Structure 1
């Protein structure tokens, strides 16, 4: 007699996905944190990750307005030559001093942490699938 185990299979896969996402969040948090430049601790203090179980996705990052400029650089130093060229001047809000700058060099922290851990992420996913579902899994990560 046929026994429908599809609900059990779906639950096992979902449990594996959720456990993997949590483990990946912790891995990436610990990988990103030491790479964040520390002129102040604002970037480090805003580092966090969020898991969306309905999408089975994880987002990790920092919640500051200037984070993108640290990661990709500004002005003539910006990656992909997309920064303001020729420099600019501004007044420092704290000191009142007029400052001229050509921009800041990139200080990437998210991308290197990811690149250094792609294989670890795959391993976490495979281990959780084996633990919750069974053997014979191979994971690949596509850029998207």
Structure 2
């Protein structure tokens, strides 16, 4: 049987190298998780003019923090639905159902009772959370 001996300096050096390698792996997992959430959200987001998909961005904030954002101001309505179809927190806040609005895109008035939810954000965050937990367990954290 082989005997391995570390002096105090050798042990400290080995521990620092191990810690740096582990911290680098954690940073990689944070990046990969954020990228996964962004990619998944973009894949699930419905496509009309591309504004919603284009507004989903990811950036690293330091080495161990990432931020994934959805910039489209109507994203919450897509995620949770509107009118009689609203599923999110608080349900519908429509004062009158059905309601009418003028569509610049269509060039005429449209009457609606709402839009069904098309979740893209929640499922993407769930997938990211599952990935992050799996990778942290793999690293022994």
Common fold: TM-score over 0.5: yes
Please give the alpha-carbon distance, in whole angstroms, between the structure 2 residues aligned to 1:73 and 1:58. 28
Q: Structure 1 residue 121 and structure 2 residue 129: aligned? A: no
Aligned to 2:68: 60
Aligned to 1:141: none
Query: Could you say what the CA RMSD is over the residues aligned between the two structures, in angstroms?
Result: 2.8
1:1-144 matched pairs, under 5 angstroms: 8=16, 14-53=23-62, 56-79=64-87, 80=89, 81-84=91-94, 86-127=97-138, 130=139, 137-138=140-141
Please give the alpha-carbon distance, in whole angstroms, between the structure 2 residues aligned to 1:57 and 1:78. 33
* TM-score with structure 2 setting the length: 0.71
Please give the alpha-carbon distance, in whole angstroms, between the structure 2 residues aligned to 1:95 and 1:76. 23
Moved over 6 A (4+): none
Pair member with larger Rg: 2
Stretches of structure 2 that go unaligned for 5 or more consecutive residues are 1-6
Compared with structure 1, are the counterparts of its residues 82 and 51 closer, same or farther at alpha carbon in structure 2 (3 Å cutoff)? farther
Of residues 40-49 and 115-124 in structure 1, the stretch that sits farther from structure 2 once superposed is 115-124
Stretches of structure 1 that go unaligned for 5 or more consecutive residues are 131-136, 139-144
Please give the alpha-carbon distance, in whole angstroms, between the structure 1 residues aligned to 2:77 and 2:129. 24
* TM-score with structure 1 setting the length: 0.69
Q: Count residues in correspondence.
A: 129
Please give the alpha-carbon distance, in whole angstroms, between the structure 2 residues aligned to 1:94 and 1:30. 28
